[in-house]
A and B are shown apart, each in its own frame.
Chain A
Amino acid sequence: MRPESLLPVFVKRPLPSRAMVYLSPLLALTLTLLAGSVLFLTMSVPPLQAMYAFFIEPLSSVYGLTELAVKATPLVLIGVALALGFRAGVWNIGAEGQLIIGGLCGGAVALYFYEQEGFYILPLILLAGIIGGMLWAAIVAFLRTRFNANEILTSLMLSYVASLLINLMVHGPLKDPEGFNFPESRLFSESAMLPILFEGTRLHLGAVFALLVVAAGWLMLSRSLSGFQIKAMGSASAAAEHAGFSSNRIIWMTLLLGGGVAGLAGTIEVAGPIGQLLPTISPGYGFTAIIVAYVGRLHPLGSLLAGLLLALTYLGGETAQINLGLPVAVTGVFQGLLLFFLLACDVFIHYQLQWRRSGSSGEAA
């Protein structure tokens, strides 16, 4: 008898558990609260206060809720789009770069129409952002389909290039002419800004776009042929090709989609809460969105919930710093713990725990 057979083992369920689909995040949250309590006790902070700061205070006012939506908007947008690509096995990990180029292109159009009026300006800005993000992703798709160059490398490397490129542009051609040569652009004119939904908050039209993208993603995945193709390719690309889907087409489609939406997210950031071009327009949303996509189980609705949760931990981290003097490093550790538990608890959807004493661990993992 092997020693590990004394421990409980995971055994695959015949069918995925419906209940666990909903219960596993609750279990994960409970475990996070327990482990987090230990963490906060070692930092000599009362756990209840810390949990209140992380999960409740940011939500305890209308303003807080709108800020949550503002923070979650880019995460949800990109998360939904990336999830489609990941389902198809296309590893676009460079959404950050696509976001930056989208913001840069949208911002450049906004600056071109500086101090001009017109209903057409904002749509043009958004369009420029989407096209910019698509073009940046198209480089990846082209290199992959034409030269077989792995998209993990190209998309990641292009993110670094994008961040240097926007830096160059705001140091040079796009910098504010009256700005004492500081590296930032003019503030966009009113006509180039996304409308605010509630006066006195920063909640902007972009949040609505995020919801629309969630809905569209859902429809696409459940109804359309493309959705079927994406799923088929993810499960076995050889089989998918056999069934007559062109893997190149899927690569192009998912990358353009991911790039376009990331570009839109970047434009929404600069034409929304930021209102100008800066050397850095994103604190890594493109990378965090990868986590959002997976924690959301690669489902658009899941991305929405996961995006909100992740955004909440960022807001909570700020509250914890302000109220309790916890360094930002604690936020990182806490976020890590939360993600570990969320990812681990999903095991219960497909597996169940069994205590078995016999040595037949053939099925055990």
Chain B
Amino acid sequence: MEILLPALLTIITAATPLLFAALGELVTEKSGVLNLGVEGMMVMGAIVGFATVHVSGSATLAILASILAGMLMAAIFALLVLKFHASQVPTGLALTIFGIGLSALIGQSMIGVAYDGIPQIAIPLLADIPLLGRLLFQQDFLVYLSIVMVVSVSWFLYRTRAGLILRAVGDSHDAAHAMGYSVIRIRLLAILFGGAMAGLGGAYLSLAYSPLWVEQMTAGRGWIALALVVFATWRPARVLLGAYLFGGITILQLHAQAFGIAVPSQVMSMLPYLATIVVLVIISSDRSRIKLNAPASLGRAFHPSR
């Protein structure tokens, strides 16, 4: 227990940026749009948040700025795929190249700048519960927010009319269009939400997880987030599961190394990826259920006129 508890704390922080970005991408994909630019939006969120806190000193402002940066990046993507009918896959990849470059330009003067990190919030009384209190109720604000977002996204998608429409657009844009819904507008909003969440994930990296700026500091987390959406079979609660599983195995293999386990470190580092594959295989074996969740028009261009 002495090691388990702090290890769990570490897992939570490692999983949180993945959770934000994956939830956003999930909503985007539910509307039928595949945005492979998560890494680019995330890294922009990271630098803009860090630069804002450096200039203004306000963590709140920084988080808002990160969200905005992610949304602006997403807006570029939306403009290209919705207005100019560009293919989604390469546009997302181009967005990542663009974001990594632009963030490095913006961040040139931010290298070597220190920041203490956003404060942790202990929820009164609850935080004093032995063991669990520290685990569950003494985190930074963004960790709480990530959990709230899982519930909210889940509620939105499956319990609201707007969520129903969004899913309808993702499943068959032609049918949704015929019913009079604005496919473009709904997808625009879903893409922007994805950008905002990726920006938030980036903010978590540069403001809380490791509060500093170095180029390419997202180190591929945007890609993992993308994979987690697939892993979750487009279910918000399973994104939570996936993020914590991936984060968990990443941390546990570090612990196993520190214990002195005689397995090459490269093999240990493979474990999170392999485990994700194995669990996906188990989840996916039930074909009928996956088909219900995967947005049927994912990645397909919408041509309204015909």
Contacts and interface: CB of A to CB of B under 8 A. Distances in A.
A150 interface: yes
B301 to A, nearest CB: 10
A290 B87 CA distance: 12
Contact of A331 (B87, B101, B227, B266): B101
B284 interface: yes
B214 interface: no
B86 A344 contact: yes
Interface string B157-186: 000000000000000000000000000100
Contacts of A47: none
Contacts of B105: 327, 329-330, 333
B305 interface: yes
Interface in B179-200: 184
Contacts of A225: none
A49 B126 CA distance: 63
Interface string A322-365: 00000111111111110110011111001100000000001111
Interface stretch (B1-9, B61-69, B91-99, B128-136): B91-99
B80 A290 contact: no
Nearest to A335: B97
B86 A346 contact: yes
Interface stretch (A128-136, A161-169, A215-223, A253-261): A161-169
**Interface on chain A toward B: helix, strand, loop, or mixed SS?**
helix
B251 to A, nearest CB: 17
A343 B281 contact: no
Interface in B268-306: 269-270, 273-274, 276-277, 280-281, 284-285, 287, 290, 294, 299, 302-305
B277 A153 contact: yes
Interface in B36-95: 36, 76, 80, 82-87, 89-91, 93-95
A363 B103 CA distance: 38
B264 interface: yes
Given A12-B303, A158-B273, A365-B85, A336 B280 contact: no
A157 B228 CA distance: 10
Contact of B101 (A148, A332, A350): A332
Contacts of B86: 343-344, 346-347
B27 interface: no
Contact of A339 (B94, B104, B220): B94
A327 B184 CA distance: 38
Contacts of B287: 148
A290 B285 CA distance: 28
B97 A339 contact: yes
Nearest to A156: B227
A355 B2 CA distance: 69
Contact of B227 (A152, A332, A345): A152
A161 B98 contact: no
B101 A153 contact: no
Given A147-B281, A158-B277, A329-B102, A294 B89 contact: yes
Contacts of B303: 12, 350, 365
Q: Would you call the interface of chain B mostly helix, strand, loop, or mixed?
A: helix
A250 interface: no
Interface string B195-219: 0000000000000000000010000
Contacts of B230: 150, 152-153
B83 A339 contact: no
B150 interface: no
B227 A363 contact: no
Nearest to B303: A12
B275 to A, nearest CB: 9
Interface string A4-40: 0000001110000000000000000000000000000
Nearest to B233: A150
Contacts of A137: none
Nearest to B37: A336
A149 interface: yes
B240 interface: no
B226 A168 contact: no
Given A158-B277, A329-B104, A167 B266 contact: yes
B227 A344 contact: no
Contacts of B94: 291, 335-336, 339-340, 343
A351 B85 contact: yes
Contacts of B215: 329
Interface of B: 36, 76, 80, 82-87, 89-91, 93-95, 97-105, 108, 184, 215, 220, 223, 226-227, 230-231, 264, 266-267, 269-270, 273-274, 276-277, 280-281, 284-285, 287, 290, 294, 299, 302-305
> Which 9 A/B pairs are nearest by Cβ-Cβ distance?
A332-B101, A336-B98, A329-B104, A294-B90, A339-B94, A343-B86, A363-B305, A168-B266, A344-B84
